[in-house]
Amino acid sequence: MTPEARHTLPADHYYSAEQYAVEQEQLWYEQWVYVGRADQVADPGQFLTVDIAGQNVLVTRNDDGGIRAFYNVCSHRGAVLCDETRGATKAVFQCPYHAWCYDLNGALVATPRVDKDEVDRSALGLKPVHVDDWQGFIFVNLSRSTPTPLREALDGHYDSPLRFEKHKMEHLVTVQRTESVVAANWKILIENYNECLHCPIVHPELVEVVPTYRTGETGDRSRVDGGVPLITGGTSYSDDPRARRAVLPGMNEEMAHSIYGSQVFPNMFIDVAGSNVVTTRLVPEGPVQTRVLTEYLFLPEDIAEPDFDHSTVVDFCELVGGQDYAVSERVQRGITSRGFAHGVYPAKDDYVHQFNQYYRKVMHES
């Protein structure tokens, strides 16, 4: 007897402006969203500006060493405060419009040509945003109420990111960042990441390195740790068998020659190999476009070696990523067809189905 088909989300969930607007309020402004590495704001005054589904947020570190986050907007007349995506200031953030100044804790400390008694400075500081870090990864939450603590929220995710804590990723160093713009809805990219039925067709280089993926499986069913073996004998995301380097904490011999992955809802992928970690951040730019930012993390002792070369890892991952982006755009082009109402999930699409179920739960959909 044929089992009852499991359906994907409705087709319009991947292109509808109305659905995207609902996502902004119910998902992107209520969930912990990954925005960057803590080493990008290592010192007081260093800052990032990040977009979260149309809301711009300023992330910085104060003089006490704490990470703070605020809406990137001046309280005077609503001007954008900082244009740079990354930078540093010595003591204050100065608005380019009227030069109002805010300290590293968001307090309004100067209003040139406006006397102190004209405005209540204590009430006009930058509007704070919830911020926390986990394993050296910074997350922000735009909720107007107090959210579930970050680690507790991660513990409830469908793809179990806390299993990677033993690798002490906070000690890793980012050696390269790449950026791509993909003409596809952010959920299409996640669904592609969560399955490997496409791997033998789309990723001929990847399945040579990870034969398990040739079967359409995303994991090795004979293992309980979620790992998939690399046949190159290397310890990195690479097709180079010589890519053997120092191994991450918490790795045994089998793990050192395997790869692992997790989709951290809603916008992060963590891919762990024996000696490096690759993270991906999805930034939706409307319902049909996503900016993809990838970070390549290595152990500091590896980076210090005179023969350190991360190019084979980057080149291989960028090749695989480009292949994924191309097929995701193909789905985006086809999904608006009048002949497509929704897709289906066979058994090997189980992780995609889990993502959809988690999405439905967050969106309060039945």
pLDDT of residue 351: 93
Q: Which two structure tokens, joined as six digits, stand for 323?
A: 């292949």
Domain final position from 114, 146, 178:
146
Q: Sorting pLDDT into bands at 50, 70 and 90, what band is 1?
A: very low
Q: pLDDT for 201-238, tens place per residue? A: 999 999 999 999 999 998 888 888 889 999 877 888 77
| % the chain with pLDDT above 90 | 87
pLDDT of residue 287: 98
Per residue, what are the HEC states of the chain? CCCCCEECCCHHHHCCHHHHHHHHHHHHCCCCEEEEEHHHHCCCCEEEEEEECCEEEEEEECCCCCEEEEECECCCCCCECCCCCEEECCCEEECCCCCCEEECCCCEEECCCCCHHHCCHHHCCCCECEEEEECCEEEEECCCCCCCCHHHHHHCCCCCHHHHHHHCHHHCEEEEEEEEEECCCHHHHHHHHCCCCCHHHHCHHHHHHCHHHHHCCCCCCCCCCCCEECCCCCCCCCCCCCCCCCCCCCCCHHHHCEEEEEEECCCEEEEECCCEEEEEEEEECCCCCEEEEEEEEECHHHHCCCCCCCHHHHHHHHHHHHHHHHHHHHHHHHCCCCCCCCCEECHHHHHHHHHHHHHHHHCCCC
- 127-151 average pLDDT score: 98
71 within domain boundaries: yes
Contacts of 157 (CB under 8 A, 6+ apart): 264, 265, 358
What's the pTM? 0.95
181 within domain boundaries: yes
pLDDT of residue 198: 97
Q: Is the pLDDT of residue 3 over 90?
A: no
Contact 354, 243 (CB under 8 A): no
Mean pLDDT check: name the lowest of 47-51, 222-226, 271-275, 323-327: 222-226
Number of structural domains (the chain) is: 2
151 within domain boundaries: no
76 within domain boundaries: yes
In a shared domain, residues 121 and 167? no
137 within domain boundaries: yes
pLDDT of residue 115: 87
Contact 303, 174 (CB under 8 A): no
pLDDT of residue 335: 96
Residue 111's domain comprises 33-146
Q: Is the pLDDT of residue 15 over 80?
A: yes
Q: pLDDT for 21-59, tens place per residue? A: 999 999 999 999 999 999 999 999 999 999 999 999 999
- 160-172 average pLDDT score: 96
In a shared domain, residues 209 and 251? yes
| CATH number of the domain residue 330 falls in | 3.90.380.10
Q: Is the pLDDT of residue 2 over 60?
A: no
Domain final position from 146, 171, 187:
146
- CB neighbourhood size of 91 (10 A): 12
pLDDT of residue 49: 98
In a shared domain, residues 128 and 261? no
5 within domain boundaries: no
Give the separation between CA 166 and CA 186, rounded to whole angstroms: 29
pLDDT of residue 235: 87
Contact 288, 188 (CB under 8 A): no
Mean pLDDT check: name the lowest of 240-244, 265-269, 314-318: 240-244
Instruction: Note the residue count of the chain.
Output: 366
- 339-357 average pLDDT score: 93
| CATH number of the domain residue 91 falls in | 2.102.10.10
In a shared domain, residues 175 and 119? no
Q: Is the pLDDT of residue 242 over 70?
A: no
pLDDT of residue 237: 79
Q: pLDDT for 92-119, tens place per residue? A: 999 999 999 999 999 999 999 998 889 9
Contacts of 82 (CB under 8 A, 6+ apart): 47, 49, 58, 72, 93
Cis omega before residue 266 (within 30°)? yes
17 within domain boundaries: no
Q: Is the pLDDT of residue 240 over 90?
A: no
**What are the strands of the beta sheet with 92-94, ordered from one edge?**
92-94, 101-103, 108-110
In a shared domain, residues 227 and 138? no
What are the C-alpha distances in Å from 300 to residues 107, 253, 263?
36, 21, 25
Q: Is the pLDDT of residue 275 over 80?
A: yes
- 289-315 average pLDDT score: 94
| % the chain with pLDDT above 70 | 98
